[in-house]
Chain A
Amino acid sequence: MSSFVGHKQRVGRRQLAFVRRVLGLFRSALREIFDESAYERFLERQRKAPSQAAYAEFLREGQAAQERRARCC
């Protein structure tokens, strides 16, 4: 009986971990699509804390790429 319960718990934990992983990936995808990750990388690279000035600099740096980013028909 206890080994059955243990098995069920292990399966439950595995499923929970899987759901967490999928949700984590989904969140990462959204953060990449919405350039939040790019801002974080910028802060890390420039060793800056998040601020209005830092974000304005990030926007200036990424402007060329963003301006040329095509959207499909």
Chain B
Amino acid sequence: MEKMWMAMAWLVVAGIGALSVATVALHRGEPINALWLVAAAVCCYSIGYRFYSKFLATKVLVLNAQRATPAERLENGRDFVRTNKWVVFGHHFAAIAGPGPLVGPVLAAQFGYLPGTLWILVGAVLGGCVQDFVTLGFSVRRDGKSMTEMAREEIGRVGGLVAYLAVLSILVVLLGVCALIVVNALKDSPWGMFTIAMTIPIALLMGLYLRRLRPGKVLETSLLGFVLVMLAIWGGQWVSQTPGVGHYFTLSASTLALLIMAYGFAASALPVWLLLAPRDYLSTFVKLGTMAMLAIGILALRPTLHMPALTRFIDGTGPVFAGKVFPFAFITIACGAVSGFHALIASGTTPKMIARETEARLIGYGAMLCESMVAVMAMIAACVLQPGVYFAINSPAGIVGAAPEAATAAISSWGFTVTPTDMQGLAQAVGEHTLFNRTGGAPAFAVGMANIFSNALGGRELMAIWYHFAIMFEALFILTVLDAGTRVARFMLQDALGHAWKPLGRTSWYPSILGTSALIVAAWGYFLWQGVKDPLGGINSLWPLFGIANQLLATVALCVATTILVKMGKAMYAWVTLGPLVWLTLVTFTAAYHKVFDPNPRIGFLSHAQQLLAGTATNSTARQVLNDRLDAGVTVVLIALVGVILVESVLEWSRVLSGKKEARVKESPFVATRFAVEEQA
């Protein structure tokens, strides 16, 4: 009887989900309420979690609650610690949730809310969550080994080496793009700049407070840091309105880029407790709180989406970035649906904390569903804006012109009415001089978020505070990704160089620390500088490059997972990873082909270089041509690296399936858990 009621309940959920998805997909003309997107997401995620993840856990991975996890077998009180599943869930979610699911959907909103939303739902349930879950499950079965180690063991040495190179290159591209988003959000914004600048002394103060005054009281210190940051936001208003002071915080994009590079270098080379760790704590504190607030704000306000379901820009002529809805919507959304980067975290700290195997389902699959929900909220924040306002903020000067009249005329000619007065009023409301040409996604998201927050709390008077709170929130945790990423990339480089000359691999040897930090910062700094100097705003060329890189990393993770499934004798279920793998290969390789060879100079790097060479030469022509060729080269190298892994994987599958090679996985031997299953249930 109970089973029947449960079945009925799930049928109701499926019915509401189908109705919501149909409304989102088929409704045209009148604007729809954002709650349809929320309902569609909640129902799809519930069904995906209840049925698909259970299928993956029981039939594919065959998770066994009786099997001792690395946290039990290798418990050392440091990395390997048996931890409550909800605690690990929070820990894992805090590590995987970054700026990607916020920025990607905002940029993809240029196609309308429909393509991005559908991909977020489908991509997460069938792709991203599966990737995170199986990577976590396989890592738990292998003593918490990293993805590159698993690639080396299961695909071969070439696979391991290529996975290493792919991860390092992708990190560099990712860091360059992250830095560019911060630059675009803070340029010529004394209020935002002051607030973010203040987070550095606040973090240093937190570090000293934590080490000297209240050792170990991190929550208390983070709360104190949060209060100080809120004071900095409040003080930023005074700074922006006081010309003598505001002048020092009104910085050009080039100056900001140099400062961010200096910051990245310092954060990589300074002791971890002084700057990196307190900023990480502060950023996590603000991130978790703000995401919860945004969810509550959307539910309380139930805003209307002003963006149409589909815009004319699905044809590839979009001002935010060029390229058709296929494949560019899919690589632009990136982390909200599938993020290759998650595979690094799912095979990093998390597998060493899981108390029993079966909990990998909640943590791997469930946390990614939450991240995907964040992406849906970002899509809502972008689409509650009037489309004219959205395009005025996100379109680069190179496309719509730098003058307000020219920009609004161009945007209105596309059918999205906006006037200079509208934009001036909005800029004043959020405490900025202008909101035109603020590419990168972060300012548009901040305006959307401020709109939701101010309507829920404080009215228009507080809009400026909310806008700068949102900018601070985004910049803070993008900078956290930047400093943590620079350090991780520096370690990877040191590990590799240590094979050539041992002292270079010593992480305590300062000449090596400084040299490798400088190399990594120079590598991502080059991409940042290129973006800053790009008349099209940089995002047009760099975000797709980041998207391709991120999705290629997911391709690597799915190759490893499929290989393990084949070797486990589970080839009949290999479609669970093979399906997303084929799709991502199709998407990334097509996008890469367009980015390199497309004859449209707004899309193809090489045709853009050709166009520059054919035109009148200026001082910057040679540099721009070099940048285009470099971007094309990086794209080709990334594709080639992943192509090698794909070929190696397919060869390994065929060897195993044809019986030429014994199907043997490199799992840790089975050890029965000492803990009763009931105790953990």
* B328-368 interface with A by 8 A CB criterion: 334-335, 339, 341-342, 344-345, 348-349
Chain B residues in 8 Å Cβ range of A25: 84, 86-87
CB distance from B270 to the nearest CB of A (A): 11
**Alpha-carbon distance between A66 and B281 when the two chains are bound, in angstroms:** 12
- 13 A-B pairs (CB sep. < 8 Å): A30-B90, A32-B91, A33-B91, A34-B281, A44-B77, A45-B77, A52-B211, A59-B211, A66-B272, A69-B488, A72-B100, A73-B98, A73-B174
**Alpha-carbon distance between A56 and B507 when the two chains are bound, in angstroms:** 19
**Nearest CB in chain A to that of B334: its residue:** A73
Structural contact, A55 and B216, CB atoms closer than 8 A? yes
**Nearest CB in chain A to that of B100: its residue:** A73
**Alpha-carbon distance between A52 and B214 when the two chains are bound, in angstroms:** 8
Structural contact, B87 and A70, CB atoms closer than 8 A? no
Selected from B215, B272, B348, B550, the residue in CB contact (under 8 A) with A73 is: B550
Q: Given known contacts A33-B284, A50-B215, is B78 in contact with A69 (CB within 8 Å)? A: no
Give the interface centre of A39, A41, A64, A71 by most chain B CB atoms within 10 Å. A71
Q: Given known contacts A25-B86, A71-B98, A73-B481, is B215 in contact with A30 (CB within 8 Å)? A: no
Total A-B contacts with CB atoms under 8 angstroms apart: 131
Q: Given known contacts A25-B87, A72-B341, A73-B98, is B78 in contact with A65 (CB within 8 Å)? A: yes
Chain B residues in 8 Å Cβ range of A29: 86-87, 89-91
B673 at the interface (CB under 8 A from A): no
Selected from B79, B344, B345, the residue in CB contact (under 8 A) with A65 is: B79
A9 at the interface (CB under 8 A from B): no
Q: Given known contacts A29-B87, A71-B95, A71-B481, is B216 in contact with A39 (CB within 8 Å)? A: yes
Chain A residues in 8 Å Cβ range of B77: 41-42, 44-45
B81 at the interface (CB under 8 A from A): yes
Structural contact, A55 and B215, CB atoms closer than 8 A? yes
Selected from B87, B215, B480, B491, the residue in CB contact (under 8 A) with A51 is: B215
**Nearest CB in chain A to that of B178: its residue:** A73
Could you give, for residues 260-289 of chain B, a 1 whenever the CB lies within 8 Å of some chain A CB and a 0 otherwise? 000000000000110011001100110000
* A13-38 interface with B by 8 A CB criterion: 25, 28-36, 38
**8 residue pairs, one from A and one from B, having the closest CB atoms:** A55-B215, A29-B90, A34-B218, A73-B100, A71-B484, A39-B216, A72-B98, A32-B87
**Nearest CB in chain A to that of B103: its residue:** A73
CB distance from A54 to the nearest CB of B (A): 7
Chain A residues in 8 Å Cβ range of B216: 36, 39-40, 50, 55, 58
**Nearest CB in chain B to that of A27: its residue:** B219
Number of residues of chain A lying within 8 A (CB) of chain B: 38
Structural contact, B488 and A70, CB atoms closer than 8 A? yes
CB distance from B76 to the nearest CB of A (A): 9
Q: Given known contacts A32-B87, A73-B98, A73-B100, is B211 in contact with A55 (CB within 8 Å)? A: yes
Chain B residues in 8 Å Cβ range of A63: 272-273
**Alpha-carbon distance between A23 and B407 when the two chains are bound, in angstroms:** 51
B94 at the interface (CB under 8 A from A): yes
Structural contact, A28 and B481, CB atoms closer than 8 A? no
Chain A residues in 8 Å Cβ range of B28: none
**Alpha-carbon distance between A64 and B488 when the two chains are bound, in angstroms:** 11
B434 at the interface (CB under 8 A from A): no
Structural contact, A71 and B219, CB atoms closer than 8 A? no
**Alpha-carbon distance between A38 and B507 when the two chains are bound, in angstroms:** 23
A12 at the interface (CB under 8 A from B): no
CB distance from B256 to the nearest CB of A (A): 20
Structural contact, B344 and A70, CB atoms closer than 8 A? yes
CB distance from B364 to the nearest CB of A (A): 14
Chain A residues in 8 Å Cβ range of B272: 59, 63, 66-67
**Alpha-carbon distance between A72 and B96 when the two chains are bound, in angstroms:** 5
* B209-243 interface with A by 8 A CB criterion: 210-212, 215-219, 222
